[in-house]
Chains A and B, each alone.
Chain A
């Protein structure tokens, strides 16, 4: 691995829900055009950390965040930076496929139109097609673009959600356990898609499934009780972990 550019950098990131501290100062560099996986037992803070990267935690009352998160060296929590603008650069895919109650076409076109990225008509049609192609969904839905997005199967819905995220052309895509609600075949489709997408985007994925992390991730970070225990190339984490906790976790001693 050579020529690694830092895309997202966090410095001593701490987070409290009310009085309860959920992140105890996480410092982490995430590299461009790589898949970075976060693993760890539930409640370890990996999803909380992920949601700090596109300021989704702002939606929860009573959250205090300290530390620094930068995207290409730009502080996303700086004064005057709007969380809406951050989220346009850092897209997110959720655990539960959550297509909008709109047609497949509108699911994709909604955000680009609102962001004034394209005009209605041909330009928009092209964008929708491109996004669906990139998400590997085009062949399956090209004849039923006006049907409701909620009528698709679970795996298709998740790819639709990825497609609509791609459509706003973010730099980074966050994925919060994107396959945990899907069957094995759909999971495989999504995993293949992720490997393809990393050519264009930086992907950060939270997963419960260690095999998944081993299969697709270039880098893996292990979280435990709000701390970043170990962060390294995936192979090293799984084959030769430095920390005892990491080893215990990947060998199934707890979790």
Chain B
């Protein structure tokens, strides 16, 4: 017979080990990527990887700058759509919508958030990209079917619900008495929202935006299905360009050996993605903590 206390301790240790799995996963991801990335950098120059402008794995050239540029460019297009629409939707939901309207619209945004990215990707490739091509050809532009605009727009739509639901939460949790302070001075509702509520919610809004950016940078299926494969440094959104995630997928689904530089390049790219998204997340958590501290909300 085990004593009750001993049994209790065993259970606690067991539970603790379960919670260690999450730490293990993070380190697992970091190290599995890091080790293979080191293998890659043993064969290829790190400097050229970061600053080189040619990505031709066939010719053993691994300059990832055009990939970073493409990722950044498509993310920028996405955020141009997602931030204004997401934020303004959140303002409407939290400030203007009646309870009934909220009850109808909120689930709709949740549906939008629940659509798998592969579905968005199909939509981008089959519906949006051809529409863009047709539209711009009216004006005589030459447009690639794998233009950056289509995945950018669709990714933006994908991120709208992420931003709107987070912003909705922070805007709603700005205390009533702060708004009333402004309204009691004879300010209109919109003046109050713009000059008082939004500045109060700013850290939360920044945090939501950062999370949106991080999601866009790591988004894979939309760009795999709708963006190009060709590394291309350009300012023209109607041209094809590729992203970090596209090249990761391409490298891993190719038929090269696992130890070939092309396959290993996926891990080098993955390392960059890991570091960037993790840093963004840390900043974002910091921002939301600041917001919660200010209004003494503690659910983080």
Query: Which residues of A line the B interface, CB within 8 A?
Result: 54, 56, 59, 61, 84-88, 91-92, 94-96, 98-102, 110-111, 114-115, 150, 161, 164-165, 168
Q: Is B28 an interface residue (CB 8 A)?
A: no
Q: Is B11 an interface residue (CB 8 A)?
A: no
B177 touches A96 (CB 8 A): yes
Between-chain CB contacts (< 8 Å), 26 pairs: A54-B184, A84-B186, A84-B187, A86-B186, A88-B185, A88-B186, A91-B184, A91-B185, A94-B180, A94-B181, A94-B184, A95-B177, A96-B175, A99-B181, A100-B178, A100-B181, A100-B199, A101-B196, A101-B199, A101-B200, A102-B199, A110-B185, A115-B186, A165-B184, A165-B185, A168-B186
What 0/1 pattern do residues 175 to 208 of B give for CB contact below 8 A with A?
Answer: 1011011111111100100011001101000000
Which bucket holds chain B's interface residue count?
Answer: 20 to 34
**Chain B nearest CB: distance from A66 CB in Å?**
23
Chain B residue at smallest Cβ distance from A88? B186
Assuming the contacts A110-B195, A114-B191, asked whether A98 and B181 have C-beta atoms less than 8 A apart, the reply is: yes
Bound CA–CA A209/B186 (angstroms) = 29
- Which chain B positions have C-beta within 8 A of A88? 185-186
Q: Is B102 an interface residue (CB 8 A)?
A: no
* Besides A61-B98, A91-B184, A98-B175, 19 new A-B residue pairs in contact (Cβ under 8 A), listed by A number: A56-B184, A59-B180, A87-B184, A87-B185, A88-B185, A88-B186, A94-B181, A98-B180, A100-B181, A100-B182, A100-B200, A102-B195, A110-B182, A111-B182, A111-B186, A114-B191, A115-B186, A161-B181, A165-B184
User: Chain A CB within 10 Å — which of B184, B185, B186 has the most?
Assistant: B184
- From B177, B187, B200, give the contact of A111 (CB < 8 A): B187
4 cross-chain pairs, A with B, having the tightest CB-CB distances, nearest first: A88-B186, A92-B184, A111-B185, A98-B181
Q: Is B294 an interface residue (CB 8 A)?
A: yes
A87 touches B191 (CB 8 A): no
Assuming the contacts A98-B178, A100-B196, A110-B195, asked whether A150 and B294 have C-beta atoms less than 8 A apart, the reply is: yes
- Which chain A positions have C-beta within 8 A of B98? 61
Bound CA–CA A200/B202 (angstroms) = 38
A84 touches B188 (CB 8 A): yes
**Chain B nearest CB: distance from A231 CB in Å?**
24
User: Chain B CB within 10 Å — which of A100, A110, A161 has the most?
Assistant: A100
- From A56, A85, A95, A168, give the contact of B183 (CB < 8 A): A56
- Which chain B positions have C-beta within 8 A of A94? 177, 180-181, 184
Chain A residue at smallest Cβ distance from B181? A98
**Chain B nearest CB: distance from A45 CB in Å?**
19
Bound CA–CA A54/B113 (angstroms) = 42
- Which chain B positions have C-beta within 8 A of A165? 184-185
**Chain B nearest CB: distance from A210 CB in Å?**
24
- From B178, B186, B195, B196, give the contact of A87 (CB < 8 A): B186
Interface residues of B in 139-181 (CB under 8 A from A): 175, 177-178, 180-181
Bound CA–CA A98/B178 (angstroms) = 5
- Which chain A positions have C-beta within 8 A of B294? 150
Bound CA–CA A54/B184 (angstroms) = 8
A85 touches B186 (CB 8 A): yes
Bound CA–CA A164/B177 (angstroms) = 15
- Which chain A positions have C-beta within 8 A of B183? 56, 59, 87
Interface residues of B in 98-155 (CB under 8 A from A): 98
Chain B residue at smallest Cβ distance from A110? B195
**Chain B nearest CB: distance from A151 CB in Å?**
11
- Which chain B positions have C-beta within 8 A of A115? 186
**Chain B nearest CB: distance from A18 CB in Å?**
13
B199 touches A168 (CB 8 A): no
**Chain A nearest CB: distance from B94 CB in Å?**
14
**Chain A nearest CB: distance from B220 CB in Å?**
38
**Chain B nearest CB: distance from A69 CB in Å?**
16
B178 touches A168 (CB 8 A): no
**Chain B nearest CB: distance from A99 CB in Å?**
8
Chain B residue at smallest Cβ distance from A86? B186
**Chain A nearest CB: distance from B252 CB in Å?**
47
Chain A residue at smallest Cβ distance from B99? A61
- Which chain B positions have C-beta within 8 A of A99? 181
Bound CA–CA A100/B185 (angstroms) = 12
